[in-house]
Amino acid sequence: MTSTDLEFELPEPAEVLLVARGIATAIAPEGGITQVQAAMLQAVTSALTQVVVDYAALEPLGPDDLAACLADRDTNYRQRIVHHMVLGEMVLRPLPTAVAHRVATYAQALGIRDDFVRVARRYAQGAYGLAWMDLRRSGFVDHVQSLSDAAPRPTVAGGNGAFEPARVDPELEARWRAFHELPAGTLGRSVWELYDTRGFAFPGAPGGAPEYLAQHDFVHVLADYGTNVRGELEVFSFIGRADPDPKGFAWLATLIGLFETGYIADTGFFERDVRERNVQASGMDVRLADSIRRGKIVSERYGIDLFDVDYHALVSRPVGEVREMLRVPRKSASACDVGSAGAFDRAGMSEIQRRHADQRQGAQT
């Protein structure tokens, strides 16, 4: 893969190594960086820089030295580095207070005042309810509100739509059901098939997703990610990194809290499920890293929050055409090799979704 294929500028390997040393030093618990932390960050670093770094075998690098290394980088770049630190600490359960304080020290040295650093400190203190309030207020709910105020969407309710209770709205439900009438291969028809196959309730119907959150189902189709927990982790990693505003990181932080560490109980639609350690599952480090890489390309080339796209104006277009418009790159071969399932693959469905799909197919034969 070349720099042209990546569609973003690659940092120098020497800088990558220095940054990795700083991140590893910041997030390491008392016994040293964990295998899960090291694997995740190695995969992310490799996907974004093409440099393979063994995070388990790095010399320490203090906050001031890291700040000197990144002195010529802009605030957005340094904030993304801090988010990699936060990602590394958020997969710890429990999250040691010393690690949270150390990451805050590194963020301060880099000149970054970041809400997610505070969220992680709340986790370390066991203040999960306060952390969720911080995540909602500072992570991206206010961001959603500001976008709605600045550019009202004709098809999406304003306000904190990601967390508003779903409303029963027969007209809205009818609009989504009408996607069935579109030609095969169009975005709308593909989303209808996604819902029909899995037995999902349409927005506006009882049990349906909130209208704003349901927009991510268009991205499931466009980015070709499954709808089980691991697919949700991939799609929200992609969406969060595709947002030019670093606050998009909240999507990944929220999903990890729900489905990996259990720091978050529920969001009003998604509910906590830590029966499996999905981030620690074989291949998930590569899959999440690739979704972050793909999101970065969309951010660099398209530059609009994917939740701010009027997908209803695009439903009659072929899926491939919309992908090209949004500059969605293909998955990497490595992500596919370790099991990244497509939107319509059985491997990308939960057990309940597969049962419904089998019943649906049986009823049609």
Q: pLDDT tens digits, the chain, 365 residues: what are they?
A: 433 345 678 999 999 999 999 999 999 999 999 999 999 999 999 999 999 999 999 999 999 999 999 999 999 999 999 999 999 999 998 999 999 999 999 999 999 998 889 888 888 888 877 777 776 665 444 444 443 444 333 333 333 445 556 789 999 999 999 999 999 999 999 999 999 999 999 999 998 988 888 999 999 999 999 999 999 999 999 999 999 999 888 888 888 887 778 776 665 556 666 567 788 899 999 999 999 999 999 999 999 999 999 999 999 999 999 999 999 999 999 999 999 999 999 999 999 999 999 988 776 65
* Confidence at residue 137, expressed as pLDDT on a 0 to 100 scale: 60
* Confidence at residue 273, expressed as pLDDT on a 0 to 100 scale: 65
Q: Of 26, 25, 69, 19, give the one whose Cα is nearest residue 49.
A: 19
* Residue 63 φ/ψ, nearest 5 degrees: -60, -40
Question: pTM of the entire structure?
Answer: 0.87
* Confidence at residue 351, expressed as pLDDT on a 0 to 100 scale: 93
Distance between CA atoms of residues 296 and 347, nearest Å: 26
- Sequence ranges of the domains in the chain: 1-126, 159-365
Residue 71: Cβ-neighbour burial (10 angstroms; 0-12, 13-18, 19+)? exposed
* Confidence at residue 164, expressed as pLDDT on a 0 to 100 scale: 58
Q: Of 109, 131, 133, 105, give the one whose Cα is nearest residue 120.
A: 131
* Confidence at residue 5, expressed as pLDDT on a 0 to 100 scale: 46
Residue 301 is which amino acid?
Answer: R
* Confidence at residue 76, expressed as pLDDT on a 0 to 100 scale: 95
